[in-house]
């Protein structure tokens, strides 16, 4: 996040926050804490003025304790490194799209983009698999090759191929390759799951 503009409420000494950033992944956190506004770069002067007017209107109203506690929680998250969200947020054709992590089946690399498959829908995101992987819970999502991440809950079966590779068959019918370089990861996860089910 590049900068966070704040207007101070003199009665409570708590800031009203307008997120100003070039990174749309902060949008979810902004909405969760009911930030006054969210400006995604680049924006023009009239859009900034609209956000400022909105903040002034809020200052004229009463600052509630609920709002202040949400802001305090946000500031704590920013200090300690926020936990992973249950949704991914990205910009697509001028819109901000929210996808629930649990609805994602798999993600594939597609040139300079990543393609997120979630049920019958797919979304293109200008991002790398390596960065998206950091936003996903490691116990549920796993990189199976240089070009794919899968939701382990969607894996139906593994079929052995040549040279130690596997075909990963998902519940929806997608067939992906698990390269031998990533095979140890999935074997370790399956082994841990088996042990937890036995206890």
Local confidence band at 190 (pLDDT 50, 70, 90 cut-offs): low
> How confident is the model at residue 9, as a pLDDT?
41
CB 174 within 8 Å of CB 117: yes
CB 171 within 8 Å of CB 154: yes
Q: Which two tokens stand for residue 12?
A: 């409570």
CATH of region 3-80, choose from 3.40.440.10, 3.40.50.2300, 3.40.50.720, 3.40.190.10: 3.40.50.2300
Q: Which two tokens stand for residue 127?
A: 């991002």
CB 170 within 8 Å of CB 154: yes
Residues of the chain with CATH 2.40.50.1020: 87-198
pLDDT of residue 2 exceeding 50, the answer is no
pLDDT of residue 140 exceeding 50, the answer is yes
CB 150 within 8 Å of CB 106: yes
> How confident is the model at residue 108, as a pLDDT?
96
> How confident is the model at residue 54, as a pLDDT?
75
> How confident is the model at residue 96, as a pLDDT?
81
**Rounded to an integer, what distance in angstroms lies between the CA atom of residue 14 and that of residue 112?**
41
pLDDT of residue 154 exceeding 80, the answer is yes
> How confident is the model at residue 4, as a pLDDT?
40
> How confident is the model at residue 151, as a pLDDT?
94
What backbone phi and psi angles, to 5 degrees, belong to 174? -65, 140
More confident residue, 60 or 46: 46
> How confident is the model at residue 11, as a pLDDT?
45
CATH number of this structure's domain 87-198: 2.40.50.1020
pLDDT of residue 182 exceeding 90, the answer is no
- The H or E element containing residue 108 is strand 106-110
More confident residue, 33 or 91: 91
What mean pLDDT value characterizes the chain?
75
State pLDDT tens for residues 79-138: 455 556 688 888 777 778 888 999 999 999 988 889 999 999 999 888 888 888 888 988
Local confidence band at 75 (pLDDT 50, 70, 90 cut-offs): low
Place of tokens 């009665």: 11
Its pTM surpasses 0.75: no
């Amino acid at each position: 996040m590049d900068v966070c503009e704040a207007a101070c409420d003199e009665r409570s000494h708590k800031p009203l926050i307008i997120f100003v950033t070039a990174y749309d992944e902060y949008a979810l956190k902004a909405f969760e804490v009911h930030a006054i506004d969210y400006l995604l770069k680049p924006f023009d002067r009239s859009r900034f003025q609209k956000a400022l007017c909105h903040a002034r209107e809020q200052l004229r109203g009463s600052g509630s304790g609920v709002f202040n506690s949400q802001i305090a929680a946000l500031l704590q998250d920013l200090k300690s490194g926020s936990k992973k969200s249950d949704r991914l947020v990205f910009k697509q054709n001028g819109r901000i799209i929210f996808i629930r992590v649990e609805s994602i089946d798999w993600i594939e690399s597609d040139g300079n983009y990543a393609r997120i498959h979630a049920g019958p829908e797919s979304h293109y995101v200008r991002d790398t698999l390596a960065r998206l992987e950091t936003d996903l819970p490691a116990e549920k999502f796993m990189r199976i090759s240089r070009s794919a991440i899968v939701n382990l809950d969607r894996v139906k079966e593994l079929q052995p191929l040549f040279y130690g590779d596997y075909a990963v068959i998902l519940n929806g019918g997608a067939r992906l390759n698990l390269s031998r370089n990533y095979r140890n990861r999935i074997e370790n996860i399956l082994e841990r799951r088996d042990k937890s089910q036995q206890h």
